[in-house]
């Protein structure tokens, strides 16, 4: 039986009110099976980041429900939601979001400290070693390349061993070599550790690493394809869908 780490049921998300009201998600139902890698694609403004934020409990939807590990997020109070996010969910941002005054090791141990734990040095070293940066533990973000900073951010997202890792355009600011490394890392979370990965990307090469691609347009899921993929096939599919309305 397939178990789902995350489910979304008829999720609607709205920003603003009155004449400035924007429906960012317009009834999205989907599920992310445990131990799978999903890519979310779609035009700018189609609701990809909102989908990730709702699924990760960073935003609360206006309607519908989200479950993580079988727990309904809308039934949790703020403290319980914060705990669940900290224990079960990792989030990787395009802009890395590292704290510039802290070393790589201090950034990585932050989620454990926020959870009230005293991290063992070996835990932090293991997380940095998993992203190939054990010897950079004492470096601050400004002393690391973009690719290295994103790997530190991934180590930070992994140190709590979350069931699911959400990544919002994690390779958007990286060159192709650094992107390749980050994508192989995300792939290995799924293949070697059975974690669930959901990644927003614009890049067909990045999306081709996934098992499944969801396509969003105007806050709705408009297509879903399962791999394996080649980057060329992903690019063709996306072009087709983008062109469809004007044909």
Residue 45 contact among Mg ion, ligand ADP, none, beta carbon within 5 to 8 Å by kind: ligand ADP
State the binding string over 32-71 for Mg ion (x if CB under 5 A, else -): ----------------xx----------------------
Query: Applying CB under 5 A, what is the total number of residues that bind Mg ion?
Result: 2
What are the CA-CA distances from residue 62 to residues 54, 58, 101, 240 (Å)?
A: 10, 13, 37, 32
In DSSP terms, which residues pair with 25 in a beta bridge? 13
Report if residue 150 touches Mg ion, rule: CB under 5 A: no
Residue with tokens 């090791």: 105
Q: Is 184 helix (H, G, I), strand (E, B) or coil?
A: helix
Residue 50 contact among ligand ADP, Mg ion, none, beta carbon within 5 to 8 Å by kind: ligand ADP
In DSSP terms, which residues pair with 63 in a beta bridge? 12
Tell me whether residue 35 or residue 42 sits nearer to Mg ion (CB atom).
42
Residue 16 contact among Mg ion, ligand ADP, none, beta carbon within 5 to 8 Å by kind: ligand ADP
Q: Which residues bind ligand ADP (CB under 6 A)?
A: 15-16, 22, 24, 42, 44-50
**Strand 196-200 versus strand 212-217 pairing type:** unpaired
What are the CA-CA distances from residue 157 to residues 19, 161, 171, 217, 236 (Å)?
A: 38, 8, 15, 28, 32
- Starting at the earlier edge strand, list the strands of the sheet with 196-200: 89-92, 164-168, 196-200, 37-41, 212-217, 220-226
Tell me whether residue 128 or residue 238 sits nearer to Mg ion (CB atom).
238
Residue 176 contact among ligand ADP, Mg ion, none, beta carbon within 5 to 8 Å by kind: none
Residues that bind Mg ion (CB under 5 A): 48-49
């Amino acid at each position: 039986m397939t178990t789902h780490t995350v489910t979304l049921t008829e999720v609607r998300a709205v920003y603003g009110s009155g004449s400035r009201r924007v429906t960012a998600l317009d009834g999205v139902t989907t599920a992310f099976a445990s131990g799978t890698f999903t890519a979310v694609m779609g035009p700018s403004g189609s609701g990809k980041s909102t989908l990730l934020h709702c699924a990760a409990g960073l935003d609360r939807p206006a309607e519908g429900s989200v479950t993580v590990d079988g727990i309904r997020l809308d039934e949790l109070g703020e403290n319980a939601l914060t705990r669940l996010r900290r224990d079960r969910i990792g989030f990787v941002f395009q802009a890395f979001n590292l704290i510039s005054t802290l070393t790589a090791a201090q950034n990585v141990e932050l989620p454990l400290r926020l959870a009230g734990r005293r991290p063992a040095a070996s835990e932090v070293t293991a997380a940095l070693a998993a992203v190939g940066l054990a010897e950079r533990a004492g470096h601050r973000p400004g002393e690391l390349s973009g690719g290295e900073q994103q790997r530190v951010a991934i180590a930070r997202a992994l140190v709590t061993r979350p069931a699911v890792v959400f990544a919002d355009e994690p390779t958007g600011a990286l060159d192709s070599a650094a992107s390749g490394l980050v994508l192989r890392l995300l792939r290995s979370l799924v293949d070697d550790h059975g974690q669930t990965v959901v990644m927003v990307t614009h890049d067909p090469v990045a999306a081709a690493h996934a098992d499944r691609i969801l396509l969003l347009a105007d806050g709705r899921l408009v297509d879903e394809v399962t791999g394996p993929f080649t980057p060329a096939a992903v690019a063709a599919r996306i072009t087709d869908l983008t062109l469809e309305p004007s044909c």
